[in-house]
Amino acid sequence: MAYRETEKMRKRKAEARQRIVSCAYQCVAENGFRSARVTTIAAMAGVATGTIYRHFESKEDLFAEIFRLATQREVDKVAEALASHGDATVRLEAALRQFAERALRGPVMAWSLIAEPVDPKVEEERLAYRQAYAELFEQAISEGMEEGCIPEQDARQSSTCLVGAIAESLVGPLSPAQINSRAEPRNDNYEPLVNSILRFCIQGLTGTRR
């Protein structure tokens, strides 16, 4: 015998894969899924087109992974905010704010995750992504009901409404038309928009105005 898989090779291969993933990520973050080309990504990563297919079944699979990755970052941040101190309402508000502000600061990727038309496999990931949020919020709402700061309700349903209300409110501001037409440097003040969204969300949850 002669060749055997070795640690060195395993590592090199993993590095190449990693390079492909980050270049693909960058492409998507800059221009969305639609305009990301396999050949471009390969060139950026310094590999041949075919090499992409040694690491991923298909473009859709690669993109699904990118989506999952980007998603995970966002969900983690929201989970983090949700784990902070305060009663459930306060924590939920912090989490929703995190969600909205991060989206507004990284609008191209946010738009890709929330609203860009994507292929079926990626769309599946999107459903999972929305569910991940819904589950996080659901958990917090349930806690709030136990704590007594949120009245009895269908926690899952309310959490879905939260995700929808925020996502819809962001679709306009995040749409490519809006993004491309805004001046550099971007120093927008998101406060009023975010506050206004949160007012509706918190009130929908608790029935109280502040």
Binding-site ranges for DNA (CB under 7 A): 1-6, 8-9, 12-13, 16, 37-39, 46-51, 53-54, 58-60
CB 196 → its own copies: shortest distance, Å? 4
The span from the CA of 5 to the CA of 18, in Å, is 19
Exposed/middle/buried for 75, CB within 10 Å: 0-12, 13-18, 19+?
Answer: middle
191 binds its own copies (CB under 8 A): no
Place of tokens 């949020």: 133
Choose which of 11, 151, 188, 191 interacts with its own copies (CB under 8 A).
Answer: 151
Closest CA to 193 of 96, 89, 108, 69: 96
Dist CA 154 CA 22 (whole Å): 40
Least spacing, CB of residue 104 vs DNA, in Å: 29
Considering only the stretches 12-20, 81-89, 183-191, 196-204, report the one whose residues sit in contact with its own copies under the rule CB under 8 A. 196-204
Part in contact with its own copies (CB under 8 A); list of ranges 58-66, 74-82, 95-103, 171-179: 171-179
| The amino acid at 15 | E
